[in-house]
C-alpha cells in the first residue's frame, strides 16, 4: 500500500513541526489512539484500537523517527502488532514548507500488512488506510487552526569570530611587535 499527498496546515512551519512530534497532540488527532508515549527523542510507543472491515483489533507498536531536519523534513518507520488482526509495518516521509501563511505538509506512506489484516486484500486496506490518514489530517488541521499563531523563533546569533586576524587592530598590533623586535635586535645586539 502506498499513499502520497499533501495538506495545508494553518500554522507556522515550526508550530506544525512541534505538534507533529508532540505525543499529546498526536493522541488527540490519531483516530482510535489509546495512548502515545515518547520513550526517547526519536522513539514512540503507540497503542491504537482500529476498526477495519470485519476486523476490530487493538494494536501496539513502535514508531522510530530518523533523518530529522527540523522544521523541514523527517522520516519514520512504524510497526504494529495485534493478536486478532496480524501486523502492519511501513515507512513515511514528511516534508514541511512555508505556504500561504501556513505550512504545506507533503507525505508519502508505504505500508504492508500481514495475518488476518492482509487477507482483506490491498484495495480494502488502501481504502481503510486512506480514511485513517484523512481523519488524522482533518483532526490535526482543526487542532492547529485553534492554536494561537506563533512566529518562528529568531535564528541563533552568529558566533563571534575570535582572534587577532579578525580585529581591525590586528595589523597595528602585529606592526608594533615587528618594530619592537627589529628595534631590539638593531639597538641592543
- The strand ranges marked E within 28-186 are 33-40, 43-52, 55-69, 73-82, 86-99, 102-114
- Model pLDDT, residue 172: 65
Place of cell 481503510: 128
pTM above 0.85, yes or no: no
C-alpha 123: how far from its chain's center?
Answer: 29
CATH number of 2-146: 3.30.530.20
Dist. CA 129–CA 107, nearest whole Å: 14
- Does the pLDDT value for residue 186 go beyond 80? no
The pLDDT tens digits of the residues spanning 24-82 come to 999 999 999 999 999 999 999 999 988 766 677 888 999 999 999 999 999 999 998 88
73-82 and 2-9 strand pairing: unpaired
- Model pLDDT, residue 156: 76
The pLDDT tens digits of the residues spanning 108-162 come to 999 888 887 777 777 877 787 888 889 999 999 999 999 998 877 777 788 776 6
What element of type H or E holds 98? Answer: strand 86-99
Q: List the chain domain ranges.
A: 2-146
Amino acid at each position: 500500500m502506498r499513499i502520497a499527498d499533501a495538506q495545508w496546515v494553518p500554522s507556522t512551519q515550526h508550530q506544525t513541526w512541534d505538534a507533529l512530534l508532540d505525543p499529546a497532540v498526536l493522541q488527540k488527532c490519531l483516530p482510535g489512539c489509546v495512548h502515545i508515549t515518547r520513550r526517547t527523542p526519536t522513539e514512540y510507543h503507540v497503542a491504537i484500537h482500529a476498526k477495519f472491515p470485519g476486523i476490530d483489533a487493538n494494536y501496539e507498536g513502535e514508531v522510530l523517527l530518523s533523518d530529522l531536519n527540523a522544521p523541514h523534513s523527517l522520516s519514520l518507520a512504524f510497526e504494529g502488532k495485534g493478536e486478532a488482526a496480524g501486523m502492519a509495518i511501513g515507512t513515511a516521509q514528511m516534508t514541511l514548507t512555508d505556504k500561504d501563511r501556513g505550512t504545506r505538509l507533503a507525505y508519502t506512506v508505504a505500508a504492508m500488512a500481514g495475518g488476518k489484516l492482509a487477507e482483506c486484500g490491498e484495495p480494502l486496506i488502501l481504502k481503510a488506510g486512506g480514511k485513517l490518514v484523512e481523519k488524522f489530517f482533518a483532526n490535526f488541521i482543526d487542532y492547529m487552526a485553534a492554536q494561537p499563531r506563533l512566529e518562528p523563533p529568531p535564528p541563533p546569533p552568529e558566533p563571534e569570530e575570535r582572534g587577532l586576524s579578525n580585529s581591525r587592530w590586528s595589523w597595528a598590533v602585529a606592526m608594533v611587535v615587528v618594530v619592537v623586535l627589529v628595534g631590539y635586535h638593531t639597538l641592543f645586539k
